[in-house]
Amino acid sequence: MNNNVYRWSKFTWIIVFTFLLLGAMTRFYRLDWSFWGDETSTFLQVKALEDKIPPDPLAYYLQHITYQLFGRGERESRMGVAITGTLAIAFIVLLVFRLYGHVTAVLLGFILLLSPWHLFHSQNQRSYSYAFFFGAMALLTAALAWKENNGKWAALSGLMSALTVATHSLSMVIPVALGTFVIFEILRHHPTISWRAIRGYLLVGVPLLLFLCFWAWFGWQNWSERQNWGYTSIHTLMGIAFNLNWGITLTACAGWWWAMWYSKDASDRLWGVVVIIVIVVAILAPLFLPFRQDYVFASTVAFFILAARFVALMYEQVKKQSRLIALAMSMVFILLPLPSFVSHYQDGDRHDYRSAAKFINDHYQPGDIILSASWISVLRYYLPAFQVTPIPNLQEGKTAILSLEQHIADKQRVWLIYSLAREEIPQDVDQWLWKHGIRMLRIKKKRFDYHENITEVYLLNEKQEQ
């Protein structure tokens, strides 16, 4: 691999347009999944824009525009994130083509196209698709600015960095990583320091980011104090690896080693530094605030690029012996996430609360009680005419049983909705459910990986009536 800047040509635009079409086909296909909890929260947060004086994250304003243009149905409300996810693939391919040429760009395009994580957030009406687009643009234009010593690219990177942070405040990891990279290069006494790039970012990005610090302080402060959940550091790291896909993660690790120790291209070290900062944040942040792997999704293009760079390197080496073997090797790598990618179109990587709510609505009788140990906000969205009462998670065992016994004491019919992944209902709770009720519905779609999304509907007190 060389350190050249590649110029765009007609061939470039053909590839970019091809990925734009492929991205649209995959991101808009089966867009009308059931809502899940965070998505219905977006409706409430967007609705609060009109009444709230402190500013909200940019993503809610973008969703507000989406609602105005398309509507609030399952498909319509996701149009904004689907469009953004599609554009992200095309623009990333375009910029990587200029950075590294067509081999890396095409490999990266297919990695993103088949990424279950990117696909999920391109069909999930939250902030992450927007944050990923802005974050990827911020990092790629920064890499171009450094490689070409170009202040204009750097100014654009500064603007995109600000938009990323405005979309999701924890995306501050991106400007922190860029600053760390600059310090790293200076400490290495590298003979070529791109001072125009540094000045361009300082002139545009830093003032905007300082403004956003005040914006976030007044609009988003103390948000984590209202949360009662949180992932551990190990859970977060494993979540990143799982969502990237383990094959991509391991290849990215090999790419990181090559980028930091063997590559002569400074832009490769930029991706290596970004990955280090992301991992450090994933380890430390859960110690202080509620955190999950999606909070660093905006910067994960660095992992994808390192994986693509390493496979491109292998491709070029193997091609010297056999182009056919090189292509086959690359194809195997590209298809590593395929089982999870195909599985997404089976269940949308979510529980089907819409079908569970429809079943209850069709079989509801006056006086019935509806309980749920899962997403209450979603069920209230799909069952607006009924009261849905929360109960403890069934994994809490005796506490859950005590709550259920209190609700069936009046001998009324009680509906219970519960969702599972790969865990099982505790044995004592399971025995109690089979003693006092009937499982009326089990929603489970076939998947081709080891994840599962199961939604169950029980009818309690029915056996006593029979």
Backbone angles phi, psi at 420, to 5 degrees: -130, 160
Partners of 370 in the β-ladder: 388, 415
- Closest by alpha carbon to 99, among 51, 25, 150? 150
Q: Say which range, 55-64, 138-147, 383-392, has the weakest mean pLDDT.
A: 55-64
Please state the rounded mean pLDDT for residues 272-295. Answer: 93
**What would the pLDDT profile of 286-344 be if each residue is shown by its tens digit?**
988 888 899 999 999 999 999 999 999 999 999 999 999 999 999 999 999 999 999 99
The b-or-e profile of 71-83 (16+ CB within 10 A means b, else e) is eeebebbbbbbbb
Q: Each residue of 195-233: b (16+ CB within 10 Å) or e?
A: ebbbebbeebbeebbeebeebbeebeeeeeeeeeebbee
What secondary structure, in 3-state letters, does 211-279 show?
HHHHHHHHHHCCHHHHCCCCCCHHHHHHHHHHHHCHHHHHHHHHHHHHHHHCCCCHHHHHHHHHHHHHH
Q: What residue spans define the domains of the chain?
A: 10-345, 353-465
Per-residue model confidence as pLDDT tens digits over 110-121: 999 999 999 999
pLDDT in the model for residue 77: 97
User: How high is the pLDDT of residue 224?
Assistant: 54
pLDDT value at residue 462: 66
Do residues 453 and 442 lie in contact, with contact meaning Cβ atoms separated by under 8 Å?
A: no
Mean confidence (pLDDT) of the chain:
91
Residues 209-227 have a mean pLDDT of 65
pLDDT value of position 464: 47
Q: How far is CA 179 from CA 164, 185, 278, 465, in A?
A: 16, 10, 13, 69
List, in sequence order, every residue forming a beta bridge with 49; answer none if it has no partner. Answer: none
pLDDT tens digits, 137-180: 999 999 999 999 999 999 999 999 999 999 998 899 999 999 99
For residue range 403-425, what is the model confidence (pLDDT) as tens digits?
A: 999 999 888 899 999 999 878 89
Residue pointed to by tokens 């910067």: 299
Q: What is the largest CA-CA distance in the chain?
A: 84
| DSSP secondary structure code for residue 412 in this structure | -
**For strand 414-420 and strand 388-390, is the pairing parallel, antiparallel, or unpaired?**
unpaired
User: pLDDT at residue 222 above 90?
Assistant: no
State mean pLDDT over 51-56: 62
What's the one-letter identity of residue 128?
A: Y
Which one is the CATH code of 353-465: 2.60.40, 3.40.190, 1.10.3470, 1.10.10? 3.40.190
Measure the N-to-C terminal CA separation of the chain; round to a whole number of Å. Answer: 75
- 301-319 and 323-334 are packed helices; what angle lies between their axes, rounded to 10 degrees? 160
The pLDDT-based confidence of 466 (bands split at 50, 70, 90) is: very low
Average pLDDT over residues 447-466: 81
User: What DSSP assignment string belongs to 86-148?
Assistant: HHHHHHHHHHHHHHH-HHHHHHHHHHHHT-HHHHHHTTS-SSHHHHHHHHHHHHHHHHHHHHH
Q: With pLDDT > 90 as the criterion, what percentage of the chain qualifies?
A: 79
> What pLDDT, on the 0 to 100 scale, is given for residue 169?
86
Sign of the C-alpha dihedral, residues 191, 258, 174, 93?
Answer: positive
- Checking if the pLDDT of 465 tops 60, the result is no
Q: Can you tell me the distance from the alpha carbon of 178 to that of 273, in angstroms, rounded to the nearest whole number?
A: 8
1 pLDDT exceeds 50?
no
